[in-house]
Every structure is written in structure tokens, then in C-alpha cells.
């Protein structure tokens, strides 16, 4: 968890945030009593990506910065998955919030050295446009749409959704390198049709009220495959989980409480999101939260959704999951 130039600096993957910000950002978080006591003496090292992937964790980050968490933490928020995956494999991080398919790739690369502990984000992709004649997926027939992330989740998702809607041969999809380009295009050509992630969707809609959501691709994916779209997860080093299960349990409990707080109290969570550099202002942050689909999904529900998702990606491109589907031991259980 990468004119619109000032907006891109805030909303894209360009905000430098290397650790939990000290001080007391506005807004309360969940009570520390919600997490179990642990005797862990060292700081659990948590990495994450800028954007919605980190938004569910901001309450815990706030608690930790004020000494209110059940154990010490260090947080590193990076702009690209590569900045997280290497250090995670090297043992520099204990827990990482990363794309689900990247967790599968790392599991395969390390022969089981990385596991998936929870689903963190169900999906943040939307089809948006300012074209008043495009209101539903069916209206995309004969149209050209723009997407980013060719060869990655955004492509796999739109391909599956269009195929399910019977539009695979009736819609032209062009690709650009970054969603910032798409957001700029909507500013200059509002009738263009874009597959855009949050928080860009909220930012663009705030600038132009004619821009509207044509389709929530999380809902469309669910309809297409019968399972939730799962795009980001909580991954953990197997060695850390095995050697310090209490520390991991404490993190998972505090993380779940943080996600619950963010979802249930968006107005209070919004300033915490802004304080971490994940949105330009509280109004934008509060608007993003319900469309970011933040969760802390574990157990059989997580395994079922992730397995379905990885199977779909594997069918499209085996390399997207590391060349083979992960085994059952990919899914961490306490």
C-alpha cells in the first residue's frame, strides 16, 4: 500500500511515512483493554502499504504512539509492495499488510516462510465516469475504458467481471501505469471511463459531482465467483508466529479492534488517517472508509475467500501467485 500533482502527492504512493507518528493525533482509539496481556519485551515490527491497506490500522497506530497498546510496536508504511516484501523475507519485519497474491508468492518463494493470518481489505476498485449515459456495466458495451495495473489484480478483476457480464468481447480496455494518470484524465475528460481504486475515487468525485460510480467491482466479483474479493491481507513470518504466538495473538486482537473502530466511527477515525498521511483531509478520509471495505477476516471464511481468489488468479496467470497454489499451511491458525 503509488492539475492533480498536489493531490497525487497526498493520495498516491508518494507520501513518506516511515514510522508511527509520535504525539497525540486527534480522535480516540479502542480501549487497550480489548487486547490480551502479553509479556513480549521487544517491539513487534509491522509493515504496511500507503492507502486503504493501512487505514484499518490507524487506531492501533494512534494507541501505540501514545503508549496505550498492549505491547510495543514499530510501524513502517511504504509506497510499493517490493519495499515490504524483501525486508519481510529477510526477517526485518514480523507482520506485513500486503496484497493477498504477494503473500502467496512469498509463501512459495520461501517454502512456507510466510503465512496469511487475516484478510485486511476486500476490495477498493470501482468503475467510474462522468458520462451521464453510462450508469451500469451493461452501458459499457462498445465503450473503451482505462485501467492500471496490467498483469496484476486490477486486470484480473475487470477481466473476470466483464466476462461474467458477457462483455469480454464488447469492451476495449486500455492500460496506463498509474492511477494518478486516470484521475488526471477524469479531470480533463470527465466522460472518460476509468477502473479506479480508492482513495482516488473519492477525491475525483469530490472535485467533480458529475463523476459517479458505475460499478463496485467488489460486488461484481462476488457475483461472478460467489466469494468476496480479497485484495490485501495480514501476512506473518512463520518463524515469528511459531516463536512468539502470544505477540502475534495480541497484534491480531488489537488490529481487529482497530478495524472495528475505524469502520464504526469514521468521523473519529478520519483525523487519524489524515495524521498518517493517507488522505488530504478528514472529509475525504471519512468518505473513503465505507468504500475501502476494511476487515479483519480470519479462519474458515478467510481461507475460503482467499482460496477462491487465488484460484481465479492462477487460472489467469500462474505467476501471479508464485507459480503454484499455496498449500493448506499457507493459512495461519493459532
Q: Which residue has 460499478 as its cell numbers?
A: 215
Binned at pLDDT 50, 70 and 90, residue 208 comes out as: very high
pLDDT at 41 (0 to 100): 60
Q: Over the stretch 63-83, which tens digit does the pLDDT of each residue have? A: 999 999 999 999 999 988 999
Q: Residue range 155-180: average pLDDT? A: 95
Whole-model pTM: value is 0.84
pLDDT(6) > 60: no
| Least confidently predicted of 6-15, 86-95, 180-189 | 6-15
pLDDT(12) > 70: no
Binned at pLDDT 50, 70 and 90, residue 222 comes out as: very high
Q: Over the stretch 286-330, which tens digit does the pLDDT of each residue have? A: 999 999 999 999 999 999 999 999 999 999 999 999 999 999 999
pLDDT at 149 (0 to 100): 85
pLDDT at 150 (0 to 100): 87
Binned at pLDDT 50, 70 and 90, residue 14 comes out as: very low
Length of the chain: 334
pLDDT(16) > 60: no
pLDDT at 9 (0 to 100): 31
Exposed, middle or buried: residue 98 (CB in 10 Å: 0-12, 13-18, 19+)? buried
b (16+ CB within 10 A) / e for 221-233: bbebbebbbbbbb
Q: Which fold has domain 5-122+230-330?
A: D-Maltodextrin-Binding Protein; domain 2 (3.40.190)
What CATH number was assigned to the domain covering residues 125-225? 3.40.190.10
How many Cβ atoms are within 10 Å of 142's Cβ, its own excluded? 9
Domain ranges of the chain: 5-122+230-330, 125-225
pLDDT at 33 (0 to 100): 36
Instruction: Give me the chain's average pLDDT, please.
Output: 88
What would the 3-class secondary structure string for the chain be?
A: CCCCHHHHHHHCCCCCECCCCCCCCCCCCCCHHHCCCCCCCCCEEEEEECCHHHHCCHHHHHHHHCCCCCCCEEEEEECCHHHHHHHHHHCCCCEEEEEHHHHHHHHHHCCCCEEEEEEEECCCEEEEECCCCCCCHHHHCCCEEEEECCCCHHHHHHHHHHHHCCCCCCCEEEEECCHHHHHHHHHHCCCCEEEEECCHHHHHHHHCCCCEEEEEHHHHHHHHHCCCCCCEEEEEEHHHHHHCHHHHHHHHHHHHHHHHHHHHCHHHHHHHHHHCCCCCCHHHHHHHHHHHCEEEECHHHHHHHHHHHHHHHHHHCHHHHCCCCCCHHHECCC
Pick the more confident residue, 42 or 293.
293
Question: How far apart (Å, rounded) are the C-alpha atoms in residues 181 and 8?
Answer: 9
Do 5-122+230-330 and 125-225 have matching folds? Answer: yes
Amino acid at each position: 500500500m503509488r492539475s492533480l500533482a498536489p493531490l497525487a502527492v497526498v493520495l498516491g504512493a508518494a507520501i513518506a511515512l516511515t514510522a508511527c507518528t509520535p504525539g497525540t493525533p486527534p480522535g480516540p482509539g479502542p480501549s487497550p483493554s480489548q487486547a490480551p496481556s502479553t509479556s513480549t519485551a521487544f517491539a513487534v515490527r509491522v509493515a504496511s502499504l500507503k492507502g486503504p491497506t493501512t487505514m484499518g490500522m490507524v487506531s492501533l497506530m494512534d494507541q501505540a504512539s501514545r503508549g496505550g497498546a498492549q505491547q510495543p510496536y514499530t510501524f513502517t508504511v511504504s509506497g510499493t509492495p517490493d519495499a515490504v516484501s524483501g525486508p519481510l523475507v529477510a526477517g526485518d519485519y514480523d507482520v506485513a499488510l500486503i496484497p493477498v497474491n504477494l503473500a502467496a508468492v512469498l509463501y512459495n518463494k520461501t517454502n512456507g516462510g510466510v503465512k496469511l493470518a487475516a484478510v485486511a481489505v476486500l476490495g477498493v476498485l470501482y468503475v467510474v465516469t462522468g458520462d451521464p449515459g453510462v450508469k451500469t456495466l451493461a452501458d459499457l458495451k462498445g465503450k473503451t475504458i482505462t485501467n492500471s495495473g496490467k498483469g496484476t489484480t486490477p486486470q484480473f478483476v475487470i477481466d473476470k467481471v466483464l466476462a461474467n457480464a458477457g462483455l469480454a468481447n464488447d469492451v476495449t480496455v486500455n492500460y496506463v501505469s498509474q492511477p494518478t494518470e486516470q484521475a488526471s484524465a477524469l479531470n480533463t475528460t470527465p466522460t472518460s471511463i476509468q477502473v479506479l481504486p480508492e482513495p482516488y475515487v473519492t477525491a475525483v468525485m469530490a472535485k467533480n459531482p458529475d463523476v459517479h460510480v458505475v460499478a463496485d467491482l467488489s460486488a461484481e466479483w462476488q457475483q461472478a465467483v460467489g466469494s468476496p474479493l480479497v485484495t490485501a491481507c495480514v501476512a506473518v513470518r512463520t518463524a515469528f508466529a511459531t516463536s512468539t504466538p502470544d505477540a502475534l495473538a495480541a497484534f491480531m486482537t488489537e488490529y481487529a479492534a482497530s478495524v472495528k473502530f475505524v469502520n464504526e466511527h469514521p468521523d473519529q477515525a478520519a483525523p487519524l488517517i489524515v495524521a498518517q498521511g493517507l488522505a488530504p483531509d478528514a472529509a475525504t478520509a471519512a468518505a473513503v472508509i465505507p468504500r475501502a471495505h476494511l476487515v479483519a477476516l480470519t479462519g474458515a471464511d478467510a481461507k475460503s475467500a482467499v482460496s477462491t481468489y487465488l484460484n481465479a488468479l492462477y487460472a489467469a496467470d500462474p505467476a501471479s501467485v508464485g507459480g503454484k497454489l499455496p498449500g493448506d499451511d499457507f493459512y495461519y491458525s493459532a
